[in-house]
A and B are shown apart, each in its own frame.
Chain A
Amino acid sequence: MTTGMSDHSADIAPADHPSHPAELARTAPTGQLPARFENPGLPTHIPRMADLDEKAARRAEKQVAALFGLSILGTLGFIASYYLVTEHGSVFVPGIGLMRAENLALGLCLAVSLLGIGLGAVHWAKTLMPDTEVVELRHPLRSSDEDRQALVTTLREEGRKSQLGRRPLLKYSMLGAMTLFPATLTWQLVGGLGRLPHNDLSTTEWNGRYLGGGKWQFVPKRLMRDPENTPIKASDVVIGSVFHVQPEGVLDMTEGKLEAKGKAAVLLMRLNPSDIRSTKELDWSHDGIVAYSKICTHVGCPVGLYEHQTHHLLCPCHQSTFDVTNDCHVIFGPANRPLPQLKITVDSEGYLISAQPFEEAVGPSFWERGS
């Protein structure tokens, strides 16, 4: 029963050596029996087949060598595939279907090359290297009391030589300098990283023409199909349809196009005017055609999912749902504010145009956007 233990007893410190007072108290013997069971020590080592039988050992050796050989084949296969597999050729793989041959061949060869080495090395370690467990003793991590005291003494004694404690002027001026100096680099970083928003977040291309200095002059703009970039006639918009819209000019921009699109994107829908429950919505519509910002008031994803039977708009990112019949108020999900409406009308040619800019900032909330 305890033979295994005797093999190793030299290596093993007494089990459960009661070094802590609390433990001593718990393990104090009560009556005749000890308070706790004793650690029986390591069980007997059971030799492996390869330890007893040279034939088994040789078999293991061959298996390891075969795995290493497989790895070599994988490497050669990788290099061969690199040249031989056609660049965009494809191959049928059961369970996957038609797939690009290059990725399959290179990937599989690489996997074989790596797994051959890995499985071989582990199999070698398991079957042929010694599997007798070795015991290493732990030593307490803490230094001796003298060493700890010596450290404290050194710090104090040697520190005193700096005279920091005796000269408060030195102490406080140094502290001040050290505290302030990071401001230099921080200043550079914060100042250099970006510009100030000013009223950027509250304006879009629908504001009209940019005059500079954060000022805009309102100019009505045609509503253009995205991505076709063609104007939309009121008669084009049938009930149940939805148009993805950008203001005229945005899709022709060479600079700042994505930034402009990200704020100005609008959805255009037509409802039966009798279905519209908000008078403001009806006022700002053209004959039941309503335009709403496509940018979610939650975190700014495009709210594109329009269910034409319920007139609900759903955001695919976090499922905020807006009711188009009721001025796009939130009826479900994490958004709080309705989508801003764009007031529209038609120009002399019958094309839909903006009648005024958005009255509030579009997109996600920010502190100073107003309530």
Chain B
Amino acid sequence: MNALAARRPRPATTVLLLILALVLGAAALVTFATRPASASSAASGDQIAQGKALFQASCASCHGINAQGTMTGSGTNVAGPALAGVGAAAVDFQVGTGRMPMAAPSIQAPRSKVQFSQEQIYAMAAYIASLAPGPAIPTAAQVDFAKGNAAVGGEIFRVNCAMCHNFAGSGGALTRGKYAPSLAGSTPTHIYEAMLTGPQSMPIFSDSDISVVGKRDVIAYLKAISKEPTQGGSRLGSLGPVSEGLFAWVFGLGLMVAAAVWLGKKAA
């Protein structure tokens, strides 16, 4: 059975791979086109100055005029943490996913509309990176998930990520209203940066924890499962048995009862 199945041509797989390759190509193009030549190592003085100006206009109210961090009025809580050493990757992730600047103080910065152009984000990233060394924005090769091994990435994902983000990356609850967000729609670069910098409650997965290759594999796995067609129909949010049970009670029983009512009703 299996041997036969393995020899049979699989047009769908081919199509899938083709689509994947196309998407990859497009993504790579976009990344290359907008990436500054030297985001991490040798940012130009102009870029840093532009970034500093942007920072002071939009971020300094919480993070301090020199990114040294500030406390709230009562001095008991951190309004914005010090940013020296968080690295360009943290800036690109936080600002590039719209989490920063935060609209209002809350328990967790939600993903929202991006406020800056990618150029501006790179400038701010360069400024923060100039304060102290920190994780750099990953290179195109590091997030080139076409080279990754999705199966290995899946194993790493299940051990390190699934307990918070759920098996399908749909997200999950943390303590006291915090949550691990859904990973749907996250770009490879942002996924990489999140692992590298550990935003908010998320722990840091440095390159010595999950290797550069391992991170690429994780991205490859996430992209593979988000691109694959659903096998058995609507995923019901990939939330597991809770949504399945709800569906059985509401739609399953609903349809059965509707049929039973029709069956018991006298014909016209």
Q: Taking beta carbons and an 8 Å cutoff, which residues of A are in contact with B?
A: 46, 48-50, 86-90, 93, 95-100, 103-104, 107, 122, 126-127, 131, 225-228, 232-233, 235-244, 269, 302, 304-310, 312, 314, 316, 319, 321, 332
Contacts and interface: CB of A to CB of B under 8 A. Distances in A.
A99 B214 contact: no
Given A86-B12, A89-B11, A241 B232 contact: no
Nearest to A235: B208
Contact of A233 (B15, B205, B208, B262): B208
A231 B200 CA distance: 28
Given A305-B163, A314-B174, A96 B234 contact: yes
Contacts of B12: 86-90
B163 A225 contact: no
A304 B204 CA distance: 14
B159 A244 contact: yes
B254 interface: no
B159 A227 contact: yes
Given A89-B11, A225-B209, A241-B204, A310 B268 contact: no
Contact of A100 (B201, B211, B229): B229
B178 interface: yes
B37 interface: no
A122 B206 contact: no
Range for the number of chain B residues in contact with chain A? 35 or more
Interface in B188-215: 198, 200-206, 208-209, 211, 214
A241 B209 contact: yes
Interface in B85-103: none
B160 interface: yes
A98 B229 contact: yes
A122 B209 CA distance: 64
B231 A332 contact: no
B267 interface: yes
A107 to B, nearest CB: 8
Contacts of B263: 122, 126
B204 A240 contact: yes
Nearest to A269: B203
A89 B8 CA distance: 13
A104 B233 contact: yes
Contacts of A227: 155-156, 159
A139 to B, nearest CB: 26
B106 interface: no
Interface string B209-249: 10100100000000000000111111000000000000000
27 contacts: A87-B8, A88-B11, A89-B11, A96-B230, A96-B233, A99-B229, A99-B230, A100-B231, A104-B233, A122-B263, A227-B156, A228-B211, A235-B208, A237-B208, A242-B203, A243-B209, A244-B159, A244-B160, A305-B172, A305-B180, A307-B174, A307-B175, A308-B198, A308-B204, A314-B174, A316-B172, A321-B175
A87 B163 contact: no
A225 B205 CA distance: 12
A121 B214 CA distance: 59
B198 A122 contact: no
A49 B266 CA distance: 11
B231 to A, nearest CB: 5
Given A87-B10, A99-B230, A103-B232, 14 more contacts: A49-B267, A87-B5, A89-B11, A93-B233, A103-B233, A126-B266, A226-B159, A236-B206, A238-B208, A239-B204, A241-B198, A242-B203, A304-B164, A314-B175
A43 to B, nearest CB: 12
A316 B162 CA distance: 10
A241 B204 CA distance: 4
A93 B229 CA distance: 11
A225 B172 CA distance: 24
B200 A309 contact: yes
B266 A131 contact: yes
Nearest to A243: B209
Contacts of B77: none
Given A227-B155, A314-B175, A316-B163, A99 B266 contact: no
Nearest to A98: B229
B255 to A, nearest CB: 10
Most chain A CB inside 10 Å of its own CB: which residue of B8, B208, B263: B208
